[in-house]
Chains A and B, each alone.
Chain A
């Protein structure tokens, strides 16, 4: 074996395990899901071969789930961005460099802990014995928060703020401070400098964070399950029902294909309009 052949063999061996995983558990399944989406439900549940567009034509049957997801996910993303921006600004501009990273890690850490338990805590806070009972104590009665769209929105901000702050922080931190000095020297008020320099230059960070949050929020299951309580349900809840309870796999496959298509369209718009034609800029996630 020549040196070059040897080197190629080593490379192939290094990449083989991941290649096997990706092929059998990601690429092939996606193709199978696509094939399933044109099939029929077997009598006992699961999949029976067929070629029909019925599953796609039947998507309006889960219209409520799509409607909830496609209204609450964008609105939740927007709210998260609004709450995250001042925090990112504070960390990037007001905090001394010594503490910045630590404080940023403290913002991010909750995201990597159990989503299940963090939303469980909100069931307690928003439930009858939580905020409503405190409000009753000061005289406001019969407030219901849990199982409403508002509960899902609060949950969205809570759950995804840790993911939204870092990209905005990164874009604010690398901002050239001389631009602000120049702006001040030319007589701009701090507010005007912010609107004309800081905000536009930090928008790519906002867009990156929003894309991440939007995609994850759209595919969420636990948040609408816990805080929407079966009343405000998302596509994820419909998918769990279709795959695990009513076992209508072909229809479930069509719903998940629709979800994946919406996600790809989101990513496409993000790449097209935010990263621009070069598409070079990447913001680290971990």
Chain B
């Protein structure tokens, strides 16, 4: 049993270790160990295509995480106040947004944007000689859609676990609803909002398939990695991949720690 578990961990982490390991190789091919070297990191981060893609990805992920954290929290708070069909309806949409494979979200957002552009572009063009097209903002909109659901589920889990008597005590002490929210509810929700922000950032930063559909001519880091793997693997990709994998693993561990710490403060 114990051996089986070790084998499973090897199976899960071996491939990741392989990329990390070979990113430090001096060899010119992806699976060619020629001694330790940081050469490929230097090459990768002096390649303007890669640095530009990195900046685009960071912009998209940062904005997505920020918007998702706010909208997801608002939604969780709003859903606390409704019951009946509206609540079921939103619940259904949240689960659909999380469960549906990325490719379906990619297609439907692509179709939505193109239909929208077809309708308003003639007017924009007639009025101001303007056209709107796919870009960073369409990617952000599509990413926010499913990350709202992620943040909302985390915040709701926390809201339902919250000690109601704290809110009641605050009201008894004549705090305004806004005061209660700011001084009692918001501090209690902060860990889950923060964890939601980190998860949304990670998901957006790594997303390939949705971005593939709605990015237009923009290149994010996963799109760059995808097209260079198609052209043939290079050690440069190992270096970029290592940075991406390590960043996301660190963010995930951080989110997990924040959540665990948060659940400890929740207990009365």
Contacts and interface: CB of A to CB of B under 8 A. Distances in A.
26 contacts: A18-B148, A21-B145, A22-B90, A29-B109, A33-B107, A83-B8, A90-B2, A91-B5, A94-B1, A106-B9, A107-B8, A107-B12, A112-B252, A115-B206, A116-B226, A118-B15, A120-B225, A124-B31, A125-B15, A129-B32, A219-B101, A236-B209, A249-B111, A256-B104, A260-B104, A285-B153
Interface string B216-230: 000000100110010
Interface stretch (B40-48, B120-128, B164-172, B241-249): B241-249
Interface in A45-101: 46, 83, 86-87, 89-91, 94
B192 to A, nearest CB: 10
A173 to B, nearest CB: 16
Interface in A112-161: 112-118, 120-125, 127, 129-130, 158, 161
Interface in B230-268: 233, 237, 241, 244-245, 248-249, 252-253, 256
B108 A26 contact: yes
Interface SS, A side: helix
B85 interface: no
Contacts of A209: none
B74 A116 contact: no
A216 interface: yes
B53 interface: no
Contacts of B202: 112-113
Interface string A214-253: 0110111110001000000000100110011000010011
Given A120-B225, A286-B153, A22 B145 contact: yes
Interface in A34-52: 36, 46
A226 B229 contact: yes
Given A17-B71, A26-B93, A109-B252, A129 B31 contact: yes
Measured as residues with beta carbon below 8 angstroms from the partner, the interface class of chain B is: 35 or more
Given A26-B145, A36-B111, A94-B1, A110 B12 contact: yes
A105 interface: yes
A21 B233 contact: no
B61 interface: no
Interface of B: 1-2, 4-5, 8-9, 11-13, 15-16, 18-19, 22, 29-32, 70-72, 74-75, 77-79, 81-82, 86, 90, 93, 96-105, 107-112, 114-115, 141-142, 144-145, 148, 150, 152-154, 157, 199, 202-203, 206, 208-209, 212-213, 222, 225-226, 229, 233, 237, 241, 244-245, 248-249, 252-253, 256
Contact of A18 (B74, B112, B226, B249): B74
Contacts of A221: 102-103, 209
Contacts of B18: 121, 124-125
A86 B1 CA distance: 8
Contacts of B152: 18
A212 B101 CA distance: 10
Contacts of B249: 109, 113
A113 B141 contact: no
A243 B107 contact: yes
A110 B13 contact: yes
Contacts of A263: 100
Contacts, number: 211
Contacts of A167: none
A11 B213 contact: no
Contacts of B206: 113-116
B255 to A, nearest CB: 9
Nearest to A109: B252
A170 interface: no
Contact of B107 (A106, A162, A212, A239): A239
Interface in A5-31: 7, 10-11, 13-15, 17-19, 21-22, 24-30
A99 B19 CA distance: 28
Contact of A219 (B11, B102, B144, B222): B102
A113 B78 contact: no
Contacts of A11: 78, 81-82
Given A30-B108, A114-B241, A122-B15, A17 B74 contact: yes
B253 to A, nearest CB: 8
A158 B11 CA distance: 7
B101 A15 contact: no
